[in-house]
Every structure is written in structure tokens, then in C-alpha cells.
């Protein structure tokens, strides 16, 4: 039996550039994957990103930079609105699981976490000790921070680091990506770009950070997070989220097409 911690990237479950648009087909496939994993007696813990339910408004109102006196009223309104949007996205995912008779329980970070980055504060034990018949789900969110920032963006990648380290039963930690098969040797636009099959933090990366839409760290934060987890979890992978069957293949055979992150 495996315990799989998975992150659904925001670019996988939403269309990143179009305000609050979900990818219904992708979500249905991912729910099917969770159902299959549970039917095979595995445990599953989920973290999801924000995509167009978080990044667009966060970018517009500079939420990741913290409170700015000249626009504080508007920022406070945006914080409320992003939190509501994230709850809505989370609800859509949970509803999709319910249609397959999968019970889930949501843990919205704005309600239990403060501060940003992997050392954020908050009690993870309700997620760690969640009944194994239920799929715990948490997500990247706007959280309260101490002064002068007042608020900030806690990324799902940071939640992955803490859950990967603090849930002792985790055997697999998988980042499901929306637009690539794993880590590429060069930006996707480069014709020589190839899938990197195995990566450790001493290897160079030539990434692109999509500052247009992304208010968290993009591929760099993801690699850094995965690298930290690989020190405690044996199987840490980046896999193409449009091909959920690769997760099952990894569990069955110990290998699949994707990038394995090693310490």
C-alpha cells in the first residue's frame, strides 16, 4: 500500500490566462485517478494550485508583495475575493470526487495557516491524522501575515514540502503539471528541449518563470520544494497531469515517463 501526496498544478486544473475557468475534463480525469488509487487500497492526500482562480487578481493587486498603504482598501477587497474564488475552485474539485463516491475533507489555509514560505505557521495535525477513508485536500491560498505585510500568498508547493516531511506514511510525492511531461532541459519553445528523466539539485536548470501570470515561484519553487522532499520521501516525481495513467504505472512498476527528483 502506498500513500500518495499529489499536487495538482493550477495550470492543470484551470486555464491560467482566463479568469476563473476550470478545465473540467482534466478535473474529471484526476478524480478518476484518485478513485482508482483508493480502489487499489492506497491512501491519497491532495494539494492543489490556484491557476486563474488566484494568480490573476493576486497579480493585479500585488497581493504577494504584502500591504501597500496607497491601495490597501482595494487589496483587502481582493484578498476576500481570492479566498472566495479558491473556496469555489476547491468545491468544484470536491464535488467531482463526490460524483465518484470519494469522500474528501477540505483544509483552506486562510482558516488555519499564517505566514508564507515553507516555514509557515499553523497546525498540520488535522491533515496528518485525517481518517484514511477520507481524502484530505488543501491548496495555495492568501494567508494572514504579521505586520507590515498583513497578507501574502502561501503556495501549494510550500504545503507539499511540509506535508511530505510531516506525514510519516507518505511513500510517493507527485507534482502533476499542466503543460509539460516533467522538467525540460530548455524552455519548451527551444527545439532542442528534452525531458530530463532524473534530476538533483546540483544539476543546472534553464527555466522560464511566467511572470505574466504567476505570483508564486513557478518551476524554480517547484524544483526547490521537490528537492527538499526528496531527502525524506523516496519517490518524488514531476509527471504530466494530462496523463494520469502514468501515476498508476509509477506505483505498479516503480518507473514512468516524467522526472524523478533525487536528493
Which stretches of the chain bind ligand IPE, using CB under 6 A? 9-10, 49-51, 54-55, 58, 82, 86, 140-142, 153, 155-157, 214-216
Nearer to ligand IPE (CB atom), residue 9 or residue 136: 9
Which residue number, 51 or 258, has a Cβ lying nearer to ligand IPE? 51
Least distance to ligand IPE, CB of residue 58, Å: 5
Between 100 and 220, whose beta carbon lies closer to ligand IPE?
Answer: 220
DSSP 53-117: GTHHHHHHTTGGG---GGGHHHHHHHHHHHHHHHHHHHHHHHHHHHTTT--EEE--GGGTEES-S
- Burial of 119 per CB tally in 10 Å (0-12, 13-18, 19+): exposed
Q: SS3 helix, strand, coil % of the chain, rounded to 5? A: 40, 20, 40
Chain centroid to CA 236 = 14
Closest CA to 61 of 49, 77, 75, 82: 75
174's enclosing H/E stretch is strand 172-177
Residue partners of 234: CB distance under 8 A and separation at least 6: 171, 172
Least distance to ligand IPE from the beta carbon of 62, Å? 12
Beta-carbon contacts of 130 under 8 Å, excluding residues fewer than 6 positions away, are 45, 105, 136
Contact 185, 253 (CB under 8 A): no
Separation between Cα atoms, residue 188 and residue 135, nearest integer Å: 34
Q: How far is the CB of 22 from ligand IPE (least distance, A)?
A: 12
Q: Which is nearer to ligand IPE, 25 or 202 (CB)?
A: 25
Contact 126, 107 (CB under 8 A): yes
Q: Smaller CB distance to ligand IPE: residue 213 or 249?
A: 213
Phi, psi dihedrals of residue 86, rounded to the nearest 5°: -65, -40
Q: Give min distance, CB of 113 to ligand IPE, in A.
A: 12
Closest CB 83 distance from ligand IPE, rounded Å: 8
Q: How far is the CB of 78 from ligand IPE (least distance, A)?
A: 10
Residue nearer to ligand IPE on the CB measure, 78 or 102? 78
Instruction: Compare residues 187 and 254 and give the one whose CB is closer to ligand IPE.
Output: 187
Residue 39: CB minimum distance to ligand IPE, A? 27
Per the structure block, which three cell numbers stand in for 28? 474529471
State the nearest-atom distance from the C-beta of 86 to ligand IPE, in Å.
Answer: 6
Which residue lies nearer to ligand IPE by CB, 38 or 85?
Answer: 85
Amino acid at each position: 500500500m502506498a500513500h500518495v501526496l499529489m499536487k495538482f498544478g493550477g495550470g492543470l486544473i484551470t486555464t491560467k490566462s482566463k479568469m476563473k475557468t476550470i478545465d473540467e475534463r482534466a478535473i474529471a480525469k484526476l478524480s478518476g485517478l484518485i478513485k482508482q488509487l483508493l480502489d487499489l487500497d492506497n491512501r491519497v492526500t491532495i494539494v492543489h494550485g490556484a491557476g486563474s482562480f488566484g494568480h490573476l487578481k493576486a497579480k493585479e493587486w500585488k497581493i504577494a508583495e504584502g500591504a501597500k498603504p496607497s491601495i490597501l482598501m482595494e487589496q483587502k477587497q481582493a484578498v476576500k475575493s481570492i479566498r472566495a474564488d479558491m473556496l469555489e475552485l476547491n468545491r468544484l474539485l470536491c464535488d467531482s470526487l463526490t460524483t465518484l463516491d470519494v469522500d474528501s475533507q477540505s483544509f483552506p489555509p486562510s482558516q488555519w495557516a499564517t505566514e508564507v514560505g515553507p516555514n509557515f505557521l499553523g497546525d498540520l495535525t488535522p491533515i496528518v491524522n485525517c481518517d484514511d477513508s477520507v481524502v484530505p485536500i488543501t491548496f495555495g491560498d492568501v494567508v494572514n501575515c504579521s505586520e507590515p505585510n498583513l497578507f501574502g500568498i502561501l503556495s501549494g508547493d510550500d504545503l507539499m514540502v511540509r506535508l511530505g516531511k510531516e506525514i510519516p506514511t507518505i511513500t510517493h510525492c507527485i507534482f502533476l503539471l499542466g503543460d509539460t511531461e516533467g522538467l525540460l532541459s530548455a524552455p519548451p519553445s527551444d527545439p532542442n528541449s528534452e525531458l530530463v528523466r532524473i534530476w538533483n539539485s546540483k544539476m543546472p536548470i534553464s527555466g522560464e518563470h511566467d511572470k505574466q501570470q504567476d505570483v508564486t515561484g513557478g518551476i524554480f519553487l517547484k524544483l526547490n520544494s521537490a528537492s527538499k522532499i526528496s531527502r525524506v520521501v523516496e519517490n518524488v516525481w514531476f509527471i504530466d497531469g494530462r496523463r494520469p495513467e502514468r501515476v498508476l504505472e509509477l506505483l505498479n512498476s516503480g518507473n514512468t515517463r516524467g522526472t524523478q527528483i533525487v536528493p
